[in-house]
Chains A and B, each alone.
Chain A
Amino acid sequence: DTGVSQNPRHKITKRGQNVTFRCDPISEHNRLYWYRQTLGQGPEFLTYFQNEAQLEKSRLLSDRFSAERPKGSFSTLEIQRTEQGDSAMYLCASSLAPPGAQHFGDGTRLSIL
């Protein structure tokens, strides 16, 4: 069990730029989740995949956000035309089918200048 891996750990970018984050889940886990966490708050659900299928998207996930999991393994989260309000920690988690516990990566901290 190598754990959930997220890259990069930190991303600093100018407003209006596009950014992409990567998540490598635990290999035998078929579910993969994305969350956003702002300072002093708990994680907020963004979306999740079962294998390669994106089964649910939160209303928080505006049209500027897109997530993929093309082969049911790693996933990417892209934010287009970043805004100041996108500054947050983006967390990825993976699990077996519910009620399996979710295992989290260390997150990608996004800072928008």
Chain B
Amino acid sequence: AQSVTQLDSHVSVSEGTPVLLRCNYSSSYSPSLFWYVQHPNKGLQLLLKYTSAATLVKGINGFEAEFKKSETSFHLTKPSAHMSDAAEYFCVVSALRGTGGFKTIFGAGTRLFVKA
């Protein structure tokens, strides 16, 4: 079985300060992990993905995430928040199922607020 938990439903930061959005996962098989961002009334945009290569993954717009197998975490970070980063962020896990095929599960999302 697999699951994904985003530990914070809302995160508020000041512009120019670091961003940390937390994600824990569970999976019976080696997972692929993704972070997506969604701006209002838009689809989801891929920020970055981990697929068993380097554990530190760099994405677009200055975001990066570190895959920590021992902690089953895939937290998203950015050194300096920008007003345009205010959006909803989703952590996603995709892994093989015991019955075959892949299953993709989305976290519930974290709303990021950026204060001027």
| Interface residues of B, count at CB 8 A | 20
Q: State which of A59-67, A71-79, A100-108 sits at the interface with chain B.
A: A100-108
List the B residue with the shortest CB-CB distance to A99: B32
Among B32, B43, B102, B109, the residue within 8 A (CB) of A106 is B43
B residues touching A (Cβ–Cβ < 8 Å)? 32, 34, 36, 41-46, 49, 51, 90, 94, 101-102, 104, 106-109
Q: Given contacts A42-B108, A45-B104, are A105 and B43 in contact (CB under 8 A)? A: yes
Q: Are B44 and A43 in contact (CB under 8 A)?
A: yes
Whether, in the assembled complex, A2 has its beta carbon less than 8 Å from a beta carbon of chain B, the answer is no
Among A41, A99, A106, the residue within 8 A (CB) of B94 is A99
Beta-carbon contacts of A51-92 to B below 8 Å, as 1s and 0s? 000011000000000000000000000000000000000010
Whether, in the assembled complex, A4 has its beta carbon less than 8 Å from a beta carbon of chain B, the answer is yes
A105→B45 CA distance, assembly (Å): 9
Q: Are B43 and A42 in contact (CB under 8 A)?
A: no
List the A residue with the shortest CB-CB distance to B107: A42
A residues touching B (Cβ–Cβ < 8 Å)? 4, 6, 33, 40-45, 55-56, 91, 93, 98-99, 101-107, 109
Q: Are A104 and B44 in contact (CB under 8 A)?
A: yes
B32 vs chain A, min Cβ distance (A)? 4
A64 vs chain B, min Cβ distance (A)? 23
A45→B45 CA distance, assembly (Å): 17
Q: Are A101 and B101 in contact (CB under 8 A)?
A: no
B21 vs chain A, min Cβ distance (A)? 14
